[in-house]
Amino acid sequence: MSIVTRPLLTGFIAGLSLLGLSVAHANNPPDMTAEEKESAKQIYFERCAGCHGVLRKGATGKNLEPHWEKTDADGNKTNGGTLKLGTKRLEKIIAYGTEGGMVNYDDILTKEEINLMARYIQNTPDVPPEFSLQDMKDSWKLIVPVDQRPKKQLNKINLKNVFAITLRDAGKLALVDGDTHKIWKVLDTGYAVHISRLSASGRYVYTVGRDGLTTIIDMWYEEPTTVATVRLGSDARSVDTSKFEGFEDKYLIGGTYWPPQFSIMDGETLEPIKVVSTRGQTVDGEYHPEPRVASIVASHIKPEWVVNVKETGQIMLVDYTDIKNLKTTTIESAKFLHDGGWDASKRYFMVAANASNKVAAVDTKTGKLAALIDTAKIPHPGRGANFVHPKFGPVWSTGHLGADVVSLISTASDEPQYAKYKEHNWKVVQELKMPGAGNLFVKTHPKSEHLWTDAPMNPEREVAESVYVFDLNDLDKEPKRLDVAKDSGLPESKAIRRAVHPEFNAAGDEVWISLWGGKADQSAIVIYDDKTLKLKQVITDPAIVTPTGKFNVYNTMYDVY
């Protein structure tokens, strides 16, 4: 598929949809063998459920139920569903992606697998089993009790500059020494670790895989060692510790996509303590059976966690001072909540309600919604990026899956020198032009003069394999394109190697980029000098399989971005 043809095709398909036309129509779902269903179910879990939901009701991605009906504010009903689209049209959408942010799968899945998935999503989705507190307890493994762990650090690694790197399809985590750029240890984890979080001391790395498996890795050993594991459910995305003074690492909270709930565990052993369901009413007043916990962060100013519930649009402030008698404050925002990060003051949490094209700002000091900000299509900030804009003062930024811009949002500040910018607070004050949609992460650092952006979900190779760097001193300039795939020195592959997730080192003078290839292709971590934007080093090894998110210990501990 040529660079020109692919967007024309997706635009043509989208146009037919807007006109209410379909390429194919079938009343009955395609036949599938039991073996085909099992294979398709696994692919759907690995590749599709995150955006479309286990029950396929949609969130970041479209509703993929065989039949659906919705009523607008005027009472008008519209009908749709995958059966209405038909196999051939679904194959094209899966293969070539969409302009709304869905990646093309023609270089990830085989033609046979694409056909399999096109048929599978026309069949009624299976409902996975629930997962109780007792199920968690049955899965819990305390490998090394706390009193048998090292009493001091037994290695000479600079732990503050270690990177925890997700090796997605391998179900592993690489810990890399940021000072020497050497792989320190590769450990087994859950499948496709979505996030790594750090203990208050920086000693423990907590991981959560998309299969619900959570681990604690102790970095005080001569070599990093997994000391406990527990399963939260069958699909999970987020964990964080208790950070407030007096509660450092006493508890760990984990949020699941399925079942829709969050769980509280002992912070040093992972012993399960409590499970709380998130099923309930949406901000629109409708019941939703699958309101997934998308992201969780620990407050810096109160003994609370901020829990973001995707489908309901509800933000929960969970007070962990009394787990038995748990107190929560529920804040209405907008659907569908995804990911976000702190503003520079660490008072306001900024979270994307991506399918609503909004960002919610939560004031964790007052426990109220500070603002709901309209943005371009499908904001996807990761943690976002904070810097002081020369014209508008402190801003927090987000990229977009569905639009070719980076949005800069003015944030409130109690510092007197920023009082003059108050009139701009909670508004998009500037949009920086990107070469296309498909951004996942933006990143900067207090010591940097650059804003780093990726575009791995863009269907075009040239864009997806590059990162784009804006000059914070002159934001009107076009960003500098860095061809990460070319700079890696790896031979060209048929599959796109996607440049994803810029992450600074602890000193703020290096930026690490994951070059995310296919299972059968060599991948790499490509390191740039932040000041000169010159290639510094490439880390590649047979163990570096499908690297995605990277989490520097110091920056993750202190929410530096």
- For 321, counting Cβ atoms within 10 Å of its Cβ (0-12 exposed, 13-18 middle, 19+ buried), the class is middle
Q: Is 450 a catalytic residue?
A: no
Place of tokens 């991506």: 354
Query: In this structure, what is the dihedral angle of CA atoms 201, 205, 206, 211, given to the nearest 10 degrees?
Result: 180
Q: Is 389 a catalytic residue?
A: no
Q: Choosing from 48, 350, 434, 457, which is the catalytic residue?
A: 48
Q: Is 400 a catalytic residue?
A: no
Rounded to whole angstroms, the maximal C-alpha distance in the chain is 67
Distance CA 200, CA 483 (A): 36
The amino acid at residue 390 is: P
Q: Choosing from 117, 194, 219, 380, which is the catalytic residue?
A: 380
Q: Which of 329, 328, 290 is nearest to 312 (CA)?
A: 290
Q: How many CB atoms lie within 10 A of CB 155?
A: 15
DSSP state of 310: T
DSSP state of 400: B
Q: Is 1 a catalytic residue?
A: no
Q: In the numeric block, which tokens belong to residue 514? A: 């994951």
Helices of type H across 403-468: 461-464
Place of tokens 């394109």: 481
The amino acid at residue 7 is: P
Q: Which of 520, 463, 455 is nearest to 494 (CA)?
A: 520
Collapse the DSSP code of 67 into the 3-class scheme (helix H, G, I; strand E, B; otherwise coil) and give the result: coil
The amino acid at residue 401 is: L
Q: Is 288 a catalytic residue?
A: no
Distance CA 349, CA 383 (A): 10
Distances (CA, A) of 487 to 3, 530, 533: 22, 15, 12
Q: In the numeric block, which tokens belong to residue 9? A: 């095709």
Q: Is 338 a catalytic residue?
A: yes
Distance CA 53, CA 47 (A): 11
Q: Choosing from 102, 117, 316, 434, which is the catalytic residue?
A: 102
From first CA to last CA, the distance across the chain in angstroms is 37
CB-CB contact of 467 with 484 (8 Å): yes
Q: Name residues whose C-beta falls within 8 Å of residue 112's C-beta, 6 or more positions apart in sequence.
A: none
Length of the chain: 561
Cα angle for residues 447, 451, 456 (degrees, 5° grid): 135
Q: What is the CA radius of gyration of the chain?
A: 23
Q: Choosing from 194, 288, 338, 400, which is the catalytic residue?
A: 338
Distance CA 74, CA 60 (A): 24
Distance CA 363, CA 412 (A): 10
Distance CA 364, CA 297 (A): 11
| Residues designated as active site | 48, 51-52, 102, 338, 380
